[in-house]
Amino acid sequence: MTLSVKDLTVKFGGRTILDAISFDIDDGSIIGIVAPNGTGKTTLFNAIMHYIPLKSGSVAIDGKAYQNSRKDILKLHKKITFFPDQADLYENFSGREHIQLYSEIWQKDTSRVEAIIDMLHMGHYVDRKVHTYSLGMRQRLCFAMMCAANTPIMLMDEVMNGLDPENVNLVSSVLETLRSEGKIIMVASHLLDNLDEYADKVLFLENGRFIFISDHHEEKVSYVKGKISRQSYDSLGNLPDGTLYLDNGLCCIPIQNEEEAKQYFSLLRSHQAETTSIGPLGTADHYIRIYDFTTENKE
Ligand SMILES: Nc1ncnc2c1ncn2[C@@H]1O[C@H](COP(=O)(O)OP(=O)(O)OP(=O)(O)O)[C@@H](O)[C@H]1O
């Protein structure tokens, strides 16, 4: 299965939020979408779902484009689900009733309900009414509802919101299981390091377009990284092309081999660098590089 978005443009009151965006995603993929607040991540999901009527561009699954008609939208929603909004939960229903409802509507089969509850460790609270749930409990319920709908394409907006580290790990591992079952999953998230753990690619949105794609399957340049003051950085002397000094004080020096790694590691340490490490640039590093306009590259 392939989800194809072509030339998608969305404007609100003359302001362009998405500017002729195009991409294809094949099954068995998790794609992260990152950008600062208010950039257009949710708008992209709303447009794919046709919650916003498409005026320009198309959304197709396996080459079939879906129009704005009620009939087409119903067909589309059988294949794609959007992470439920916590505000849409029924306060006087139990978690189990929500999971059953989603299973009935999308799959006409409730046989997986118990397995989903076990998988997400919800057994101790799922029979209580939703109005007694904490933020994290509600979030896990919303995720369980998506698992119950079990559509081939899943749009996860801020899926990790309000989850503690243990539950972030749990939901991350379930996302990986869903990918291995062949799902297409898009995750808009501000948990940047977490995306590095499971996303196949991370797309960076700015001014209505994806301006950078970090492909986790491509071979990456390795860097020696360390946090140092601007003053210390300026006194480091000649550094290789491609060295970055990010606005959070992280100095990233590209290395070709172990010898260079040792050389620059010692150099950073001798300049009182904190938290030195070696590795490729992660999503968080790219985020600072891309969205912080005071970032400089050293010649
Ligand atoms: N229905 C709407 N009418 C007018 N403007 C809207 C509408 N929905 C969103 N916007 C605007 O579009 C821009 C993008 O909003 P969107 O919710 O897509 O951002 P986001 O990247 O998901 O942000 P966040 O990280 O805060 O969730 C914002 O400036 C927002 O105010």
- Calculate mean pLDDT across residues 217-238: 92
Cα 292 to ligand 1 centre (Å): 20
CA of 18 to the centre of ligand 1 (A): 11
Which atom of ligand 1 lies nearest, measured to the CA of 39? 21
Q: Which residue has the tokens 């118990």?
A: 114
pLDDT, mean of residues 238-242: 94
Q: How many CA atoms lie within 13 A of 57 on its CB side?
A: 22
CA-proximal residue: ligand 1, atom 25 (nearest): 37
Q: Which CATH number fits domain 2-215: 3.40.50.300, 3.30.2130.10, 3.40.50.970, 2.40.10.220?
A: 3.40.50.300
User: What whole-number distance in Å separates Cα of residue 238 and Cα of residue 287?
Assistant: 26
Domain residue extents for the chain: 2-215, 222-297
Helices within the chain (DSSP H only):
41-49, 70-79, 95-102, 113-119, 135-149, 165-180, 192-198, 230-234, 258-270, 283-291
Residues lining ligand 1, Cβ inside 6 A: 12, 17, 35, 37-43
Average pLDDT over residues 256-275: 91
pLDDT score, position 18: 97
48/83 Cα distance (integer angstroms): 13
Ligand 1 centroid distance, CA of 43 (Å):
6
Report pLDDT digits (tens) over 209-223: 999 999 999 988 999
Probe ligand 1: pick from 43, 83, 195, 206, max atoms within 8 Å of CB? 43
Q: Would you place residue 55 in the very low, low, confident or very high pLDDT band (cuts 50, 70, 90)?
A: confident
80 vs 146: CA distance, rounded Å: 10
Taken in order 147, 149, 153, 158, is the CA torsion positive or negative?
negative
- Residue type, position 289, single letter: R
Give me the pLDDT at residue 219, please: 86
How confident is the model over 165-180, as pLDDT tens digits?
999 999 999 999 999 9
Model confidence band, residue 295 (pLDDT cutoffs 50, 70, 90)? very low
State whether residue 221 is helix, strand or coil: coil
Q: Record the tokens describing residue 261, joined without a space.
A: 């790694």
d(CA 280, CA 202): 14
List residues bridging with 157 in a β-sheet. Answer: 188
In this predicted model, what pLDDT tens digit does every residue of 197-209 receive, in sequence order?
999 999 999 999 9
Q: Hey, which of 21, 34, 42 would you mutate to test ligand 1's pocket, going by the most ligand atoms within 8 Å of its Cβ?
A: 42
Q: Are strands 56-61 and 64-65 parallel, antiparallel or unpaired?
A: antiparallel
Query: Looking at residue 251, what is its pLDDT?
Result: 95
ipTM reported for the complex surpasses 0.90: yes
First to last CA, the chain: 45
Dist CA 214 CA 87 (whole Å): 33
Atom 8 (ligand 1) nearest CA:
43
Looking from the CA of residue 36, the nearest atom of ligand 1 is 25
